[in-house]
């Protein structure tokens, strides 16, 4: 089969790759319709391997080279014994696996499992014609939901969790730092959750223009942009974190969901004097975040089409997908790879 395979930094190859075997008990084979390129994939392309293992992963047994892609949706074409999902079922892939035995896994939060693994990073992923995954990773897509929306459900689940971690946003002003895909999704979830106002803050005029076109207030990240009781930090940068903390009102909450590549300094005195709260939000859980994300999409509460800036065939995943995202990040949000072509 054709797949986008990670071999190392600046080395992703669209190549022939062994098709997955018949799925074992509890697993299914999914023919992928669409898979999104994530910022994590870009980090691996430019700076990796970061989380992609170069020695055998303790849970999955995988290591590079491996197939990328953790934002997939498609149709089940084969099912192992006891999988509980019939072939022909359209599914979105929540993307994570855990040991199944630790406290995190037993509470439904396998993203906090010490052996946590994600398809496309710690095992073969969805930037391929087909992939084998545990049935527990699959959520059925409503008939009315396009495959493209199914591929965006994973990113949206990240935003759903972040808004949950903030506590209630109903009736309050919300600021979101970083008007990329995750930031715009967090803004839409906050709006659908009853926020009084949602302001996107970013250095990029192009991204702020896109946010304004989606009906959001916009402002620069500078201090004159004001403060809010709830702030989401979606940039993953030192400046973005500092600006987010400064923009959080007294007794307010800053939710950090941007992925930072190094330790950051925080002014604990200012935090203490304002009695502010910092909360981290990692990935998502199936029942609490991923399935609600699909429901938001089904109800039309999220404008997913405005987040898709290109659709390209699998054969062009590198030169028409990864490379344009690297060369001109301000012009792109989500690039979807059509794995059927």
What is the CATH superfamily name and number for domain 2-140+304-338? Medium-chain alcohol dehydrogenases, catalytic domain (3.90.180.10)
Residue ranges matching CATH 3.40.50.720 in the chain:
158-280
- Whose CA is closest to 35, among 147, 183, 200, 189? 147
**What phi, psi does 29 have (nearest 5°)?**
-105, 130
- Whose CA is closest to 233, among 305, 140, 303, 165? 165
The pLDDT tens digits for 304-341 are: 999 999 999 999 999 999 999 999 998 899 999 999 97
What percent of the chain clears pLDDT 90, i.e. is strictly above it?
A: 95
Residue ranges matching CATH 3.90.180.10 in the chain:
2-140+304-338
Question: Cα–Cα distance between 185 and 189 in angstroms, integer?
Answer: 6
The pLDDT tens digits for 108-161 are: 999 999 999 999 999 999 999 999 999 999 999 999 999 999 999 999 999 999
Sheet holding 197-201, edge to edge: 217-219, 197-201, 173-177, 228-233, 248-256, 277-280
Question: Cα–Cα distance between 131 and 50 in angstroms, integer?
Answer: 22
Place of tokens 């930094």: 9
Q: What is the CA radius of gyration of the chain?
A: 20
The pLDDT tens digits for 148-185 are: 999 999 999 999 999 999 999 999 999 999 999 999 99
DSSP E strands, 135-247: 138-140, 173-177, 197-201, 217-219, 228-233
The pLDDT tens digits for 277-303 are: 999 999 999 999 999 999 999 999 999
Tell me the CA distances in angstroms from 238 to 144, 245, 259, 265, one per residue in order.
41, 11, 11, 8
Question: Cα–Cα distance between 234 and 178 in angstroms, integer?
Answer: 5
Q: Is this model's pTM higher than 0.85 or not? A: yes
Architecture of domain 158-280: 3-Layer(aba) Sandwich (3.40)
pLDDT of the residue at 260: 83
């Amino acid at each position: 089969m054709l797949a986008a395979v990670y071999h190392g930094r600046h080395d992703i190859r669209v190549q022939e790759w062994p098709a997955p075997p018949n799925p074992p008990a509890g697993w299914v084979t999914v023919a992928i319709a669409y898979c999104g390129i994530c910022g994590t994939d870009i980090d691996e392309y430019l700076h990796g391997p970061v989380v992609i293992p170069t020695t055998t992963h303790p849970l999955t047994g995988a290591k590079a080279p491996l197939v990328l892609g953790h934002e997939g949706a498609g149709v089940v074409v084969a099912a192992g014994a006891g999988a509980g999902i019939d072939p022909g079922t359209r599914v979105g892939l929540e993307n994570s696996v855990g040991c199944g035995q630790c406290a995190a896994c037993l509470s439904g939060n396998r993203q906090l499992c010490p052996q946590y693994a994600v398809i496309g990073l710690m095992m073969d992923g969805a930037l391929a014609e087909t992939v084998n995954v545990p049935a527990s990773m699959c959520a059925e897509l409503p008939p009315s939901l396009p495959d493209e929306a199914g591929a965006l459900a994973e990113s949206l689940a990240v935003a759903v969790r972040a808004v949950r971690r903030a506590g209630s946003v109903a009736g309050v002003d919300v600021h979101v730092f970083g008007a990329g895909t995750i930031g715009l999704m967090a803004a839409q979830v906050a709006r659908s959750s009853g926020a009084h106002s949602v302001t996107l803050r970013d250095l990029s005029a192009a991204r702020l223009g896109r946010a304004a076109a989606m009906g959001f207030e916009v402002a620069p990240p500078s201090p004159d942009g004001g403060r809010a009781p709830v702030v989401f930090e979606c940039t993953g940068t030192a400046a973005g974190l500092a600006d987010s903390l400064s923009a959080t009102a007294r007794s307010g909450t800053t939710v950090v969901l941007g992925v930072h590549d190094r330790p950051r300094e925080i002014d604990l005195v200012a935090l203490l004097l304002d009695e502010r709260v910092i909360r981290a939000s990692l990935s998502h859980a199936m029942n609490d975040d991923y399935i609600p994300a699909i429901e938001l999409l089904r109800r039309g509460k999220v404008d997913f089409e405005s987040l898709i800036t290109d659709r390209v065939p699998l054969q062009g995943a590198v030169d028409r997908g990864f490379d344009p995202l690297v060369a001109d990040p301000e012009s792109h949000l989500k690039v979807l790879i059509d794995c059927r072509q």
